[in-house]
């Protein structure tokens, strides 16, 4: 009898290990809530069933799908790229904005972003980003930036896709920056990446049309901009939303303010050992209103420290 029970338990554990779609998540309330939600909306006989076309799940990127410290990675890309450009351009090398931006001067950083992001065709810009993602490494973690994506969140993306969801990135980051790696890294195609944008211009050069990036902000996909960006690109309201900072507040609010089953979660950076620990008062990824109101609004906090077995994707 004891042997039989033991065998049964072993078999069950093996079956569980083989089929657990979220192996990097510790068992607990958060993981249970995710799995229950997915089971509820995919059960055709259940009262909470949602048709596949309406299974829209939105994800912030910086701090939700990959790290964002000590600076948004796109800002590091701008600094790295400006340095590389300056090595071939003495006038740029003499520009004081480069040194000031590296020291954290916000206004100088905006100038460096303009220098590296505009007055180029979209194709050239995408090439610049790809070149950087394959070569640059994080200053303290010494990994490629695309290897600083969160393994539990990548499992979550796959799990939702396998259950008929369409997953979308909705980020304050630049849309063309993210599209250069999102399809390969997250399995999310370019048409499901929503982000901030600068103005563009269609131009025919010697008979060949190009899209030129202009040094002027068009749309900021942050705070109130997130529901607007979602509405403009998708045209329907998500049923699940994942963020990490107060920049995601309105996205979670918009997602959870309609009838029917809804899921909203905030990645809480509470793991100083394996990643970074910050929330209120952080200069990046500040989380204050979200912490205060999550409970009352039915949003869950994902504790990096307790809910995740591993943080980063394995190095390639």
Q: What does the alpha-carbon distance between residue 55 and residue 28 come to, in Å, rounded to a whole number?
A: 24
Is 67 or 256 the residue whose CB approaches a second copy more closely? Answer: 256
> Least distance in Å: CB of 257 to a second copy?
5
112/193 with CB nearer a second copy: 193
Q: Does 130 bind a second copy (CB under 8 A)?
A: no
**Closer of 108 and 252 to a second copy (Cβ):** 252
The residue (of 77 and 150) whose beta carbon lies closer to a second copy is 77
Binding residue (CB under 8 A) for a second copy from 42, 122, 282, 306: 122
The correct pick among 200, 282, 303, 306 for binding a second copy (CB under 8 A) is 200
In this chain, which of 43, 124, 184, 191 binds a second copy, going by CB under 8 A?
Answer: 191
Task: Based on the shown chain and the rule CB under 8 A, indicate whether residue 227 belongs to the binding site for a second copy.
Answer: yes
The correct pick among 16, 232, 283, 289 for binding a second copy (CB under 8 A) is: 232
| Window 62-121: residues binding a second copy (CB under 8 A) | none
Q: Nearest distance from residue 137's CB to a second copy, in Å?
A: 26
> Is residue 296 involved in binding a second copy (CB under 8 A)?
no
Which class for 110: exposed (0-12), middle (13-18), buried (19 or more C-beta within 10 A)? middle
Which residues make up the interface to a second copy (CB under 8 A)? 53, 122, 166, 175-176, 179, 183, 189-191, 193, 197, 200-202, 204, 208-209, 211, 224-225, 227-228, 231-236, 250, 253-254, 257
């Amino acid at each position: 009898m004891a042997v039989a029970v033991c065998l049964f338990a072993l078999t069950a554990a093996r079956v569980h290990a083989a089929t657990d779609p979220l192996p990097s998540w510790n068992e607990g309330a958060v993981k249970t809530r995710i799995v229950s939600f997915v089971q509820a909306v995919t059960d055709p006989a259940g009262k909470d069933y949602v048709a596949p076309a309406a299974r829209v799940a939105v994800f912030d990127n910086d701090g939700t799908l990959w790290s964002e410290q000590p600076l948004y990675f796109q800002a590091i890309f701008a600094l790295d790229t400006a340095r590389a450009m300056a090595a071939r351009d003495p006038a740029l090398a003499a520009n004081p904005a480069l040194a000031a931006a590296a020291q954290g001067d916000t206004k100088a950083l905006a100038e460096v972003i303009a220098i590296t992001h505009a007055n180029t065709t979209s194709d050239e810009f995408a090439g610049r980003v790809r070149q950087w993602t394959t070569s640059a490494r994080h200053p303290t973690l010494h990994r490629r930036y695309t290897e600083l994506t969160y393994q539990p969140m990548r499992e979550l993306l796959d799990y939702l896709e396998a259950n008929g969801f369409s997953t979308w990135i909705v980020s304050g980051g630049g849309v063309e920056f993210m599209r250069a790696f999102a399809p390969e890294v997250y399995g999310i195609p370019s048409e499901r990446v929503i982000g901030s944008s600068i103005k563009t211009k269609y131009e025919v050069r010697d008979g060949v049309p190009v899209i030129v990036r202009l040094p002027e902000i068009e749309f900021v996909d942050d705070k109130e901009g997130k529901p607007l960006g979602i509405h403009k690109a998708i045209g329907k309201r998500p049923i699940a939303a994942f963020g990490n900072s107060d920049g995601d507040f309105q996205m979670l609010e918009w997602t959870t303010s309609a009838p029917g089953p809804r899921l909203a979660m905030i990645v809480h950076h509470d793991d100083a050992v394996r990643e970074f620990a910050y929330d209120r008062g952080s200069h990046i990824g500040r989380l204050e209103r979200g912490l205060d109101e999550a409970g009352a609004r039915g949003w869950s906090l994902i504790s990096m420290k307790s809910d995740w077995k591993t943080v980063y994707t394995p190095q390639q």
